[in-house]
Chain A
Amino acid sequence: MSTTSKTTFSRRAFMRTSTLAGGGMLIGFNLFQSCKPKVAPPIDLSQLDYNDFNAFIKIAANGAVTIFSPNPEIGQGVKTSMPMLIAEELDVAWKNVFVEQGKLDTENYVRQVAGGSQSIRFGWDALRQTGATAKRMLVNAAAARWGVDASECSVSEGVITNAAGETLGYGDVVNEAAVLEVPEEVTLKEPKDYNIIGKDAGNVDITKIITGKPLFGLDYKAEGMVYASVARPPAFGQKLVSFDATEAKKMPGVIDVVSIGEKGRAHMNGENRNWSVRLPDSDKVVVIAESTWQAMKAKKALKIVWEDNDLESTEQHNELLMGLLDGNKFNTMRSDGNVKKAFAEADEVLERTYESPFLPHNCLEPMNFYANVTDEKIHLVGPVQTPASAATTVADMLGRDVADIHLEMTRMGGGFGRRLYGDFVYEAAEISNLIRKPVKMVSSREDDMNTGVYRPAIKYRIKAAVKDGQITGYHLKEAAINSNMYGLIPNFFPAGAIENYQVDVASYDSNITTGAWRAPYTNFLAYAEQSFFDELAELMDTDKIQLRLDLLEKVKGTEDERIQYDPERMQNCIKTAVEKSGWGKKPEGVYQGFVNYYCHNTHVAQVADVEIENGNAVVKKITCVVDCGIVVNPLGAINQIEGGILDGIGHSMYGDFGFENGAPVANNFDGYRLIRMKEAPAIETHLIQNELSPTGLGEPTLPPVGGAIANAFKAATGNRLYEQPFSKKPELLKVPEKEILG
């Protein structure tokens, strides 16, 4: 897996250059080779048509470089790190690069998405090749002017130097470069020659963030814009029967009260349905007002009659999911050997069940979107992780050509998976289509928490067979609301390490909307598995670290292509974590828990340190080792790693989201607890240094940390934790009375 290669894939298929009217060069490119641009980029920047390219580099005649970053920014740092890859190969000083958010390409783009920790992994080659191609053209232009061979020229920070020591800046030759042939081949740098990749780069939006400039969807305003507050069914299963808006309409600032839902439903029943989103059957009531507060306040004055249908509860879900685990209606996701036989022949069997609740995303910026639907075009602005599918869905809903849609992405006040679903975009568009005004749909915190797309409640039952001191069988069963683990998850560790191995899944179809939540499935699975291995090692009376290393040893040399975790990289993470955390060498009173995990293409090992304070077990420190290949921006990487760890601790400890009569019990931060400053332990991160292609960091450190703290709590208190959130049973986080007295 070398990072450097002479690239030969067709530049024509993904890149075009042109001169700019005001001087300078514009390079339009598609990040992914499957994109097929049809036309050259425009010569006037104001005419940029993102339907043909999803990212652009502009090199002005004065040498200034602007990079339009294609992927949505939700706090994962790609608006900084993706342009860094271009700047590295372009050979310009990072401080001279301006970064702007690119708009949406609805036609050619395959992955203008923030999700799955994949932006850097997929962009790695294409972004560097684009930078290298532009540099090559600029050098060719300089060489032609000097009448020398390009190979005699060198570049440093945007200045080209020839053998005689003469220099030309990029700005001096950019107009000549723009009309040259795009080279078919470029050579990428060796990692040892990197000037930008691997160096700390601060957030490109930092100054705007710390001075309160309009950046987020909620901050966007347009001439004549009105505000909309939407009354959705307060419980899942409810449907609108009728509403009385007499009082609401009398309130100051209220412009109109309307109902929507028909367009969304028609789309859901149509042949172009966006399958990633399930909209409730019910109509919704919308208050349109001159200000946000007036709209929110008037919504409370609406008198609405809802009809109840199949209102579900957490108690009912618990019974149903346990019933699924006890039953035999499973789909088998992977089956190796014969687990039944392994259990029949085992010396010992361990079986444990792990339980988790629904979780809301709680992006701090509530769902909102701007829409202005006119006969000429549809203008959409706001925070969405999946702009392309939002645009095509709106086009289908409103019976419009997708070319009519102009979608601009704002910075997002958090995503965590919630903004993968475009329901709030469709609502805004349907409202504007109806009232024919520019409108901002704004959800209140209560709306956001109570009408969300939640992480589904899940239960795992894991069973292992031990014979002659070896793990001979492993059977994982998943019972979940609405959907099950997918993709390669059933092939994660310990798949491949245990001869008889099976993963079975079953789901219950609920009317509560569910979807991806930061590190889908693994966000709970990792804790369950890593707790189970901790307990299994105790049962086997074997070393917890050696057990993991031995299992990984068995995966080496596997020819099973479904297994994508690398046993050697994982072993290296484990050994590094043992060393850096002082595993087994801590003074009395410090209790440790160990985990290792692979997801989203990144390998992680973590150690939690727990101490007893006033009889309670408290997490004091997390040591985290990460192998994500080359680290593009260490400053941003560590922010993601630490955020993932604290998010994981917070939700394992406190995240509890139950339902009664179809409605969530909590509806704001007074009833739903998020991790806060005093609960955040110290974190020590160690990044494995290698020259392997980089992988993402938005998710991988979150899943295992629940296991790390659960295992450390066990060491401290003697109590195993089988249910999240852990704070639900505070007695299990205490040291037994007799031990304190003793």
Chain B
Amino acid sequence: MPTFQLKVNGESKTVDVAADTPVLWVLRDHLDLVGTKYGCGIGQCGACTIHVDGTPLRSCSTTLSQVEGKSITTIEGLSEDGKHPVQEAWTEVDVPQCGYCQAGQIMTASAFLENNPNPTEEEIKNAMHGNICRCASYTRIRKAVAVAAEKMS
């Protein structure tokens, strides 16, 4: 099997896997970074969202060749101590119910606010529309993104 050099959360990693292995499963099964979640495998739910050079991507539908030489950030690497403004907002608003989708929600929100630090409510809704929360904690996600935006500005 081919060897791939990856940069994950600032650390260099070497993995030995089939070239078609989605980044999601490399993170989860090979690098023990299980914070990135499997939800659908077809890029529909957003539970597997990671940042690649700052851009949010669905890791279930991203191949290794697409991320080689690029900088991958997962939920584990979003901040050193869970103190990213989005993470703090999630705690303040007490967003999660089951919590399974929330890593993906947080990764989508943090990438969005990086590009749009002062979003309107409509922009927040549009940005978060691609992430499914099966418990439907949408009202709190909306609120938490707005709280995070305030913290970041």
Contact = CB atoms under 8 A, between A and B. Distances in A.
Given A364-B47, A677-B141, A210 B82 contact: yes
Interface in A198-251: 200, 202-203, 205-207, 209-216, 218-219, 221, 227
A445 interface: yes
B34 to A, nearest CB: 4
Interface in A644-689: 645-647, 650, 668-670, 674-678, 680, 682-683
A650 B76 contact: no
Given A216-B100, A291-B29, A677-B129, A211 B135 contact: no
Interface residues of A, number: 64
A636 B42 CA distance: 32
B93 to A, nearest CB: 9
Nearest to B98: A75
B52 to A, nearest CB: 17
Nearest to A76: B97
Contact of A74 (B98, B103, B133): B98
A204 to B, nearest CB: 11
Contacts of A365: 37, 39, 98, 100
A77 interface: yes
A387 B25 CA distance: 28
Given A292-B25, A676-B129, A642 B140 contact: yes
Interface string B55-91: 0000000000000000000111010001000010011
A517 to B, nearest CB: 13
Contact of A643 (B1, B87, B137, B142): B137
Most B CB within 10 A of own CB, among A364, A413, A639? A364
Contacts, number: 179
B29 A639 contact: no
Nearest to B22: A293
Contact of B40 (A74, A416, A445, A683): A445
Contacts of A411: 98-99
A650 B136 contact: yes
Given A293-B25, A414-B134, A218 B140 contact: no
A206 B132 contact: no
Interface residues of B, number: 59
B98 A683 contact: no
Interface in B1-40: 1, 17-18, 20-22, 25, 28-30, 32-40
Contacts of A674: 132, 134
A677 B138 contact: yes
A592 to B, nearest CB: 20
Interface in A278-304: 291-294, 297
Contact of A211 (B28, B29, B38, B82): B82
Interface of B: 1, 17-18, 20-22, 25, 28-30, 32-42, 44-45, 47, 74-76, 78, 82, 87, 90-91, 94, 96-103, 106, 125-126, 128-142
22 contacts: A205-B96, A210-B96, A210-B102, A212-B103, A218-B37, A291-B21, A291-B29, A364-B101, A365-B39, A411-B98, A415-B98, A445-B41, A445-B42, A639-B137, A643-B97, A668-B41, A669-B40, A675-B138, A676-B129, A676-B138, A677-B141, A678-B129
Given A75-B99, A210-B82, A639-B137, 4 more contacts: A200-B94, A202-B94, A676-B129, A677-B142
